[in-house]
Amino acid sequence: MQESRLKNYLLLHLIIFIWGFSAILGALISLDAVPLVWYRMSLAVIFIVLYFVLSKKSFKVDRIGIAKFFVTGILIALHWIFFFSAIKVSNVSVALVTMSTGAFFVSFIEPLFFKRRIKVLEIVLGFFVCIGLYIIFNFESQYRLGIFYALISSLLSAFFSVFNGLFIKQYAASKISLYQLFFGVIFITIYLLFTDGFSASFFELSKSDWYYLLILSSICTAYAFITSVKVMKYLSPYTVILTLNLEPIYAIVLALFIFGEQEKMNPEFYFGAFIVLFVVLLNGMIKNKKSIRNKINEKPVRKN
């Protein structure tokens, strides 16, 4: 059992490393954000459909589920468009550090849907996150547009994460992902049709772009998603969420190694980034302690 936990914990780190690498691929692919996301989601749908066929999974979903996945699929598509837009107008480091604010957006959105009070602690920690972002804004003013796009992307991710927290109680994670990606493709396709985006040049991709897109859609999207679901069977949600906060660190180190000078920032950026990441980690640790305490209190007292 212990070996299984260790194996899956290492696998979780691999998945997070892969997700961090998706930001690197977004910077390497020459496409603009909208066509990039269209290709990513389209190819990912194909790979996940193949997974369904090979594993003989059912595609059946009720009409209410279809409506839910249609709305959240649009949110996911917009989330990725703003995310890759942030990378294109700034860099990987700025986009991913700003994306770390997602946990705090969830703290304010979740009570609306799960009918609980907003906690004072979450407001205080959110305030410190704002301080970290202000430091980054103030000293890296040339990246303000990228930070703005990343904040929108983070907010959108918070919304569909909360929705998925509700959906997972009724639907399989694989079905949620498949239909959300599918409807995301439909949404972007309609947008491109109305804006005459499907020109001849849209389908003229370089070999390197095709190579990066195949990695992005298969390994960084389809494989990472399916594997992350399996990992959740062996690791606690807290372990997964806390470890996910390492994604910006992995990606920033990768970006510095791959892009060099382009990713080097002022010392103030790293100070602001440290505040953001530290507060996010602290938030996870505090919530984990409370969760453990609540479980201990809920245990029935054994009578002799």
pLDDT digits (tens, 9 = 90+) for 82-99: 999 999 998 887 888 787
- Region 115-140: mean pLDDT is 72
Q: What is the pTM of this model?
A: 0.81
- Tokens for 87, please give them: 């990378």
Q: Which residues contact 274 (CB under 8 A, 6 or more apart)?
A: 132
Name the range with the highest mean pLDDT among 17-31, 203-217, 228-242. 203-217
> 3-class SS at 253?
helix
**Which whole-number Å values give the CA distances from 256 to 122, 167, 221, 235, 261, in the listed order?**
32, 38, 23, 31, 7
Instruction: Write phi, then psi, for 243 (nearest 5 degrees).
Output: -70, -30
φ/ψ of residue 299, rounded to 5: -65, 130
For residue 181, CA distances in Å to 4, 7, 20, 118, 175 come to 31, 29, 19, 31, 10
> Contact 6/235 with Cβ under 8 angstroms?
no
pLDDT at 303: 47
Helix (H, G, I), strand (E, B) or coil at 200: helix
